Amino acid sequence: MPTRKPSDVIVVGAGVVGAACAYYAALAGLSVTVVDRGPVAGGTTGAGEGNLLVSDKEPGPELELALLATTLWRELADLLPPQVEYEAKGGLVVASGESGMRALREFAARQEKAGVTAQEVTGDRLHDLEPHLAPGLTGGFLYPQDAQVMPAHAAARLLRAGGDRIRLHLGEEVTALLTGPGGEIRGVRTTAGDLHAPHVVNAAGTWGGALAELAGVHLPVLPRRGFVLVTEPLPRVVRHKVYAADYVADVASGSAALQTSAVVEGTPAGPVLIGASRERVGFDRTLSTEVLRRLAAGATALFPVLGTVRAIRTYLGFRPYLPDHLPAIGPDPRAPGLLHACGHEGAGIGLAPVTGLVVAACLTGAEPPLDIHPFRPDRFPAPESTPAP
């Protein structure tokens, strides 16, 4: 097989997480090769809504990542072209009863101790923020740190911002990891030839577990399917990301069953995006009319005005799910030279820059910007082998 020019690091995956890893590695002075079997943002990133959220995260390691990521996204918004559509519009979480409001109040109090800004909004003030909300809601919380970005454009622009330190190899599937006599990583083998580097970053999203297997290590990444409904372009009917209180519980759940909760947000281009659904059905891409029915019903319950609006398309994606709801970020001690940057589930777009910053620090021997121990890739026990009959 032909061998191409070596680099300091190979990033497998050209989604927004891989793009951020490549960008920050290039910023640190490293030469980077990004390889993907498809186009830029051809997987989960291209099917994402672009949410940059702190509002849905319990205090703990993931929230620490998200808070740092909000700062990094603001910095990137000043550097990247306006096509990335960064919008610091804030999130609004609403409750339809007193019990839901109490739960939101308790949740926000815990978050505020961890550095999140959360402002209680009484029911009679909700329409000041969202004039088209349904009447009769008990109240909610406004999260001004929540934002949105156009994920596919963000991935492409991050790769471009790395300049000539980043080389792209698109349409090349990684079929093996190259190793030295001591088992250390030496590069990857693709359908178009070998690529050499002393470090490989696994940013393969929902296929992160399969890439880990090529290195002989266990990383139980599973796909969690979700659908999004897209309306016709509208005037700004929805000003914030608005969602019902049960969305937080759905995000934290490990259930394989179908879960839907109302999530509605406008975009600078005009269409309204409607979610959210979660279910573990492997990589089944079959259109589910039941999911779409639930999404539409949830959206119109929050915003009755949407009942007269056309949904012009729908799309689906697969969130890369790990059982403890934390991503795998950093070096894998079981395979020297292999680093992981995957398993972010639905938070990958929001957490991309901090993930890239951590990976770049690990590659250069710098101090990571926060404690990465909770994200160590080897925290999952290997499955027990089935004895031979």
- Model pLDDT for residues 255-287, shown as the tens digit of each residue: 667 888 889 999 888 999 998 898 999 999 999
Tens digit of pLDDT for each residue in 309-333? 999 999 999 999 999 999 999 999 9
Q: What is the pLDDT of residue 387?
A: 46
Contacts 24+ apart (CB under 8 A), 102-110: 103/245, 104/139, 104/140, 104/141, 104/245, 105/141, 107/58, 107/248, 108/141, 110/58, 110/59
pLDDT exceeds cutoff 80 at 252: no
pLDDT exceeds cutoff 60 at 347: yes
In whole angstroms, how large is the CA radius of gyration of the chain?
21
Q: pTM for the whole thing? A: 0.94
Task: Determine the Cα–Cα distance for residues 330 and 362; give it in Å rounded to an integer.
Answer: 7
Please list the alpha-helical segments (H only) found in 242-347. Answer: 246-252, 289-302
Tell me which H or E stretch contains 143: strand 139-143
SS3 at position 218: coil
Task: Determine the Cα–Cα distance for residues 296 and 306; give it in Å rounded to an integer.
Answer: 9
Which tokens hold the place of 257? 């069953």
Which superfamily, per CATH, for 91-144+222-321?
D-Amino Acid Oxidase, subunit A, domain 2 (3.30.9.10)
Tens digit of pLDDT for each residue in 109-132? 999 999 999 999 999 999 999 999
Tens digit of pLDDT for each residue in 142-196? 999 999 999 999 999 999 999 999 999 999 999 999 999 988 999 999 999 999 9
Which tokens hold the place of 287? 């259109």
Distance between terminal CA atoms of the chain? 40
Could you give the residue range(s) of every CATH 3.50.50.60 domain in the chain? Answer: 9-47+152-221+324-379
Pairing, β 259-266 against β 328-331: unpaired
Please state the φ and ψ torsions of residue 259, each to the nearest 5 degrees: -130, 135
Which superfamily, per CATH, for 9-47+152-221+324-379?
FAD/NAD(P)-binding domain (3.50.50.60)
SS3 at position 9: strand
Tens digit of pLDDT for each residue in 22-48? 999 999 999 999 999 999 999 999 998
Per the CB < 8 A criterion, the answer to whether 227 and 49 are in contact is no
Question: In the sheet where 200-202 sits, what is the strand order?
Answer: 166-170, 32-36, 9-12, 200-202, 338-342, 328-331
Q: What is the pLDDT of residue 255?
A: 64
List, in sequence order, every residue forming a beta bridge with 313; answer none if it has no partner: 230
Kindly report the average pLDDT of the chain as a whole number: 93
List, in sequence order, every residue forming a beta bridge with 92; answer none if it has no partner: 142, 242
**DSSP per-residue letters across 296-313:** HHHHHHH-GGGGGSPEEE
- Total count of residues recorded for the chain: 389
How far, CA to CA in Å, does 90 sit from each of 86, 99, 129, 243, 329?
Answer: 12, 24, 10, 12, 27
Which tokens hold the place of 10? 């190979």
Task: Determine the Cα–Cα distance for residues 144 and 89; give it in Å rounded to an integer.
Answer: 7
Q: What is the pLDDT of residue 253?
A: 54
Where does residue 290 rank: exposed (0-12), middle (13-18), buried (19+ CB within 10 A)? exposed
pLDDT exceeds cutoff 70 at 388: no
Q: What is the pLDDT of residue 245?
A: 83
**DSSP per-residue letters across 160-190:** HHTGGGEEEEET--EEEEEE-TTS-EEEEEE
Where does residue 234 rank: exposed (0-12), middle (13-18), buried (19+ CB within 10 A)? middle
Could you give the residue range(s) of every CATH 3.30.9.10 domain in the chain? Answer: 91-144+222-321
